[in-house]
Structure 1
Amino acid sequence: QGTSAAPTGSPTPSSPAPTATIPASPSPQAGGLPRLQGKATVVMTVKGSPITMEIDGTNAPITAGNFVDLVNRKVYDGLVFHRVVREPQPFVVQGGDPQSKDPNVPIDRLGTGGFIDPATKQPRNIPLEITPRNAKEPLYNQKLSDAGITVPPKLKHTRGAVAMARSANLDSASSQFYIALADLQFLDGDYAVFGYVTQGMETVDKIQAGDRIESATVTKGIENLKTGGVTSSTASPSPSPTTSP
């Protein structure tokens, strides 16, 4: 599996005029994925300081559901922010590779790992999911530009945006996420934003490569998480994967 990374920063070329594209159906594999119906709040602690995120399942139900489910499973506890880009200008902090729970894995080897579902022993990947501003449903498996859509997404890459990292494969996002350190408009429509930091950006601004997520907890909205067609009300036990899929 390729490296899961936020892009390096080349703007997307201009797209043709918007068309009345009917959003594509989710990938076949999306049927069994967790979904968030509404909002949830996640508090992530780094260096003893809380970072509060509002997670938006209204506009990114699968992406938000995947993240909230992984938080609820305690997958992120103890994982590292392995990629921090602030030069030549503030860009992103990125973490969530399950391989990083093992302190013996060098930081330069991180970035390829994803969540392995303990029930199926298979990697969980989610489809690219972006809702255009004028749409009622998300577009799946496509960048907005590839679908001929030039309106911006509802969830934009403003400073504090939380989005999924992925490889060049559009449907390869799993557990790795990034937080935007600045407005990154050129990423809009290409990568899936699913929430925003509402408190604690001063902590995000201080994150260094190698800093660990001490804990991540769903503090509100867990009743909005639907897994396998049922509401999730308690944390599901899961071994934390340490190997790359």
Structure 2
Amino acid sequence: MLLRRRCWSVVMTFLMSLVIFGGVVTAASVEELMDQLKHPIWTTRRDAALQLGALSLRAIDAVDILVELLEDRAAPVRYAAVNALGQIGVWAPEVVPVLADTLFHEDPEMRWQAAVALGNIGFRAVEAIPALAEALLDQYPDIRNAAAWALGMIGPAAHEAIPALIETMEDSDERVQEMARNAIIEIGGLAALPLLPPSEAEMARIAEIGALPAVIDTVKGPIKVVLRGDLMPLTVTNFIKLAERGFYDGLIFHRVEEWVVQGGDPEGTGVGGPGYTIKLETHPALRNVRGAIAMARSAHPDSAGSQFYILKADVGSLDGQYAVFGQVVEGMDVVDSLEAGDAIKSIRVVDH
């Protein structure tokens, strides 16, 4: 089984090198470690490789030997060599194509180590972008996860990998989905993300947090609400995701009546949405009372998307039919003053 390691051993071996060399790294000490890379005992070769990696730029002369160790007969030595190249490679761009080739090694641990190494190199690993994008299809989720992370670490230069990362957001492993999402944000910002319904992982996080304060800032003033993510995880997560994307910024309240205000339609007509719908979610503790915030929908129960309404009066007949997901705690005077065409400036969650 592929190990989910983080390279804590690098820290340990760096501390070892300080002990061995009295805290002073000299050319002679680096040469000594390079000699140990050829030692007949594999543990010595492994430890020397890790220590050289921890020395980074100061061990740049060891690159050629470390590349040779990628074919070492002892697997731990090969892993240590990949690890070291990932740290030295920031200063030695010639290792990037070598690590890119290693993404297709027959040993899955080597592939994982190579992806992590390329991520450590960061924006200088642009030559490996096509290989990392291909690694998003690896049979092992740990490798797919590491490849997505590495692309995110490369940053905006990895823009060509966004289509592959978008596909990876549908991965069978939720960790990989989330890593792909984070990578897209690192590469191109939130605007590069497709609008998608909440994932199970996203909903679980919001449900665990519980009640969330948020502010709907309008041209008439702020409306402070509490969103019940603990009771309505799907609906609240969807609302928060759209808000964080800036989806609601500038949209109008297209419907204003004596008992309700409604907004969140990008078309401003009452028929638009984010391009997807979510299932109806209800909870008996959340009622359609004055100040309630709920999802608007069409006749079909599972047709809510982005539109929401705030009640100006109690309307108990709507209970159980619409997803009430929060309550206004301050600013009902603002709600009462809204007119058709008034705009939402922004919606932000105060802390989550």
> Using the alignment, how far apart are the partners of 1:130 and 1:48 within structure 2?
30
- Bigger helix share: 2
Following TM superposition, by how much is the alpha carbon of 1:32 offset from its aligned partner in structure 2, in angstroms? 2.9
SS of corresponding position for 1:99 = coil
Which among 202, 205, 209 is matched to residue 333 of structure 2?
Answer: 202
Does the Cα contact within 8 Å between 2:220 and 2:338 map onto a contact in 1?
no
> Using the alignment, how far apart are the partners of 1:81 and 1:95 within structure 2?
4
Q: How does 1:2-21 map to 2 (within 5 A)?
A: none
Match of 1:191 in 2: 322
Does the Cα contact within 8 Å between 1:126 and 1:174 map onto a contact in 2?
yes
In the alignment, residue 246 of structure 2 is paired with which amino acid? Answer: K
Match of 2:211 in 1: 39
> Using the alignment, how far apart are the partners of 2:348 and 2:231 within structure 1?
21
Aligned residues, how many? Answer: 152
Q: Which whole-Å deviations, capped at 9, do the CAs of 1:137-160 have from their partners, x for residues lacking one?
A: xxxxxxxxxxxxxxxx11001110
Q: How does 1:112-131 map to 2 (within 5 A)?
A: 112-115=271-274, 123-131=275-283
> Using the alignment, how far apart are the partners of 1:130 and 1:51 within structure 2?
23
Which among 235, 253, 272 is matched to residue 63 of structure 1?
Answer: 235
Does the Cα contact within 8 Å between 2:242 and 2:306 map onto a contact in 1?
yes
Match of 1:179 in 2: 310
Match of 2:246 in 1: 74
> Which runs of structure 1 show a deviation greater than 6 angstroms over 4 or more consecutive aligned residues?
none
Match of 1:94 in 2: 262
- Bigger strand share: 1
Following TM superposition, by how much is the alpha carbon of 1:96 offset from its aligned partner in structure 2, in angstroms? 0.2
Following TM superposition, by how much is the alpha carbon of 1:98 offset from its aligned partner in structure 2, in angstroms? 1.2
Does the Cα contact within 8 Å between 1:76 and 1:96 map onto a contact in 2?
yes
Following TM superposition, by how much is the alpha carbon of 1:30 offset from its aligned partner in structure 2, in angstroms? 7.1
Q: Which whole-Å deviations, capped at 9, do the CAs of 1:192-225 have from their partners, x for residues lacking one?
A: 100011110000000000000011111122xxxx
* Alignment CA distance shift 1:176-1:31 (3 Å): closer
SS of corresponding position for 2:243 = helix
Q: Which whole-Å deviations, capped at 9, do the CAs of 1:15-39 have from their partners, x for residues lacking one?
A: xxxxxxxxxxxxxx97736422112
> Using the alignment, how far apart are the partners of 1:76 and 1:42 within structure 2?
13
Larger Rg: 2
Task: For structure 2, list consecutive stretches of 5 or more residues without a partner in the other structure.
Answer: 1-195
* Alignment CA distance shift 1:154-1:48 (3 Å): same
Following TM superposition, by how much is the alpha carbon of 1:165 offset from its aligned partner in structure 2, in angstroms? 0.3
Following TM superposition, by how much is the alpha carbon of 1:53 offset from its aligned partner in structure 2, in angstroms? 0.8
Q: Which has the larger displacement, 60-69 or 212-221?
A: 212-221
Q: Does 1:168 align with 2:336?
A: no
In the alignment, residue 256 of structure 2 is paired with which amino acid? Answer: V
Q: How does 1:209-220 map to 2 (within 5 A)?
A: 209-220=340-351
Identity within the alignment, %: 47
Alpha-carbon RMSD: 1.6
> Using the alignment, how far apart are the partners of 1:205 and 1:198 within structure 2?
14
Task: For structure 1, list consecutive stretches of 5 or more residues without a partner in the other structure.
Answer: 1-28, 101-109, 116-122, 132-152, 222-245
Following TM superposition, by how much is the alpha carbon of 1:124 offset from its aligned partner in structure 2, in angstroms? 2.1
TM-score (norm 1): 0.59
SS of corresponding position for 1:67 = helix
Following TM superposition, by how much is the alpha carbon of 1:48 offset from its aligned partner in structure 2, in angstroms? 4.9
Q: Which whole-Å deviations, capped at 9, do the CAs of 1:155-205 have from their partners, x for residues lacking one?
A: 001110000000011101000000010111111111110001111000000
